[in-house]
Structure formats: structure tokens, C-alpha cells
Amino acid sequence: MDLHRYAGLVDQLAAEYTLGVLRGGSRRRFETISQHDPAIRLAVETWRLRLTAMTELGAPVTPPPEIWPSIERRLNLVNARRDAAAARPVAPVAAPARPVARPKPNWFENLSFWRGWSIAATAIAAIALVVSIRELSTVAPVPAPVPAPQVAQEPRIGYVATLADDKSNARMLVTWDDRTSEVTVRRLSGSSDPSDKSMQLWGLPKQGHPVSLGVLPVGGTARFKAASVNAYPILAVSVEPVGGSPNPNGPTGPVVYTGKVIPAA
């Protein structure tokens, strides 16, 4: 079954699959088809990014107090706990012990003696502590610890675009981090760089000429700054001479990939 024949069907199924409401045979068939269709896998990944952002922004919700008793009743935990308590042997109650007469303590066991001794020992320890502090103050100062390197912040994906060829085959995935204004272009299976040419990413505004967002390096993942990528509803990739299009107002070579820019959340 070609899911791409029906407008919006792939996106709808990807949303239901990510939310977990697509079940049974429909879920298994969707998983089988997605193994051979990169566009479907990208649609699922896009929905996963959207839902991840929603869970991070949502306020925590405390479950009602009756939830746990309801779970216990469904799993029959109350009866199981009662049966376990009934089967547990009860230890016999021991008779109270008769008081034993204790001999009069000698000086070694005298509380007053040890109380006075503890006061004297505390005073000696305090004096030793003061002397130690004075000795340490004359020692060379210990250098301050070197602060640990700061951990890079996790990217915050604001916009996503799947760029496909004229046969609707997904070739590139473009994400934009709205915290750092960094665009990341990832090549997918089937994407190849032409020899002796450059591939250039363009933003197509609603009005005006295309705007160059950068020349893509050969192979691998590309990253560069583009503070206004959300201003372009559509992105496109063209094949240009080495170094990029000689025309600043648009591509001069064929446009091979296009895709819509959509919010990730």
C-alpha cells in the first residue's frame, strides 16, 4: 500500500504511532512499511520531537489519591496482603523479666567521674584544635580548585524541514536550534553530492527572491548559523558551481530538494 497517495495520511499515522494509539495489526503494518520508507521514519521522528518538547514544557501533574487504591483492587493486592499476614506465625509473648538487683557501682562505674573526665577531655581537644588551626595558617595556601568545564546545553529544536526529491523521497533533514540559531543539515540515505559541484541551501520567503543560507560541505552533516530560518516557509537545495551560486538573488543550477518548514513543537 502506497501511503503517500493520500494527502496527510503519513503524518496522521505517524502521529498516532508516536502517541501509542495505533495498535494491533495496524501498528505492525506501519512498522513494516516504515522500515523501507525513509519519509515515514522522518515523519515519526518529527512527531517524537514535537511531543518531547511538549512534555518538557508541561507542568507536573499529581495523580489523584484514589489511583493507587484502585490499582491495588484491580491486582487483588489487598487480599494477597491480608492472606500473607494471616499465614505469618505469631511469636509467643514472653513473660516479663524479674528485676535483678544490681550491686552498687564502684568508682570506675561512677557517672560523676566520667562526666568530669569528659569535660576535661573536651577542653583538651578544643585546645589542640586551636593549636592545629594556628599551625595550618602558616602553611602555604592550597590553590583553588579548577572549575569543571561547562557542559554544552542540549539543543532546543524550534523548526524542522524534511527535504525530498521530485519523487517524494526524503533526502535531507534540516533542524534549527532556536537557542543558538544553528541550522543542522543531515543527509539521509540516497543523498549524494555531484562531482565538481556544490550543493547550496536556500530559504524561500513568501515574497521576494530566495535567500542563501549556506553552501553545504561534501558529505556528512552541515552546521551553520542562520538566525531567520523560521522566516522561510520552504527550504530548497540546488546544485551550483563550486563555491555556490554566482547570482546572489537565487540559484542558477537545478533545484533538487525542497521541503516545508514546520514548528517542532
- Is the pLDDT at 137 greater than 50? The verdict is no
pLDDT at 126 over 90: no
Average pLDDT over residues 23-28: 90
Residue 169 has pLDDT above 70, yes or no: yes
pLDDT value for 124 = 52
**Taking 60 as the threshold, does the pLDDT of residue 129 lie above it?**
no
* Averaged pLDDT for residues 90-109: 56
Can you tell me the mean pLDDT for 101-106? 55
Residue 98 reports pLDDT greater than 80: no
Averaged pLDDT, 165-192: 84
- pLDDT surpassing 90 at residue 107: no
The answer, yes or no, to whether residue 241 has pLDDT greater than 90, is: yes
User: What structural domains and CATH numbers belong to the chain?
Assistant: 3-56 (no CATH), 157-263 (2.60.40)
pLDDT of residue 112: 52
Query: pLDDT value at position 4?
Result: 72
Q: Report the pLDDT averaged over residues 73-78.
A: 80
What percentage of the chain reaches a pLDDT higher than 90? Answer: 8
How confident is the model over 59-70, as a mean pLDDT? 80
Whether the per-residue pLDDT at 19 is higher than 70: the answer is yes
Distance CA 84, CA 100 (A): 40
pLDDT at 130: 47
* Residue 260 pLDDT > 80: yes
Q: Is the pTM of this model over 0.75?
A: no
The confidence score (pLDDT) of residue 80 equals 72
> What cell does 43 get?
515523519
How high does pLDDT run on average in the chain? 75
What's the confidence (pLDDT) of residue 154? 62
